[in-house]
Amino acid sequence: MRVTRSLAIGLTLVIAASGCTTSEPSLKEAAAELQKDTRLLETDDLFKNPLMKLRILQYPDKDIPCGEDGFKRVLRATADEERSKEENLDTHLDAAERVMENTLSKSLGYKLEHDTTQLDAPEGRFIKGSKEAGVSVDVYVSPEAPTWRLHAQTACLSK
DSSP secondary structure of 48-75: TSGGG--EEEE-S-S-EEETTTEEE-EE
Q: Enter the pTM of the model.
A: 0.82
pLDDT of amino acid 31: 97
Per-residue pLDDT reduced to its tens digit, 84-103? 889 999 999 999 999 999 99
Question: How many Cβ atoms sit within 10 Å of the Cβ of residue 66?
Answer: 15
The counts of H helices and E strands in the chain are: 3, 8
pLDDT of amino acid 120: 84
Per-residue pLDDT reduced to its tens digit, 60-69? 999 999 999 9
| Cα–Cα distance measured from residue 74 to residue 27, given in angstroms and rounded to the nearest whole number | 12
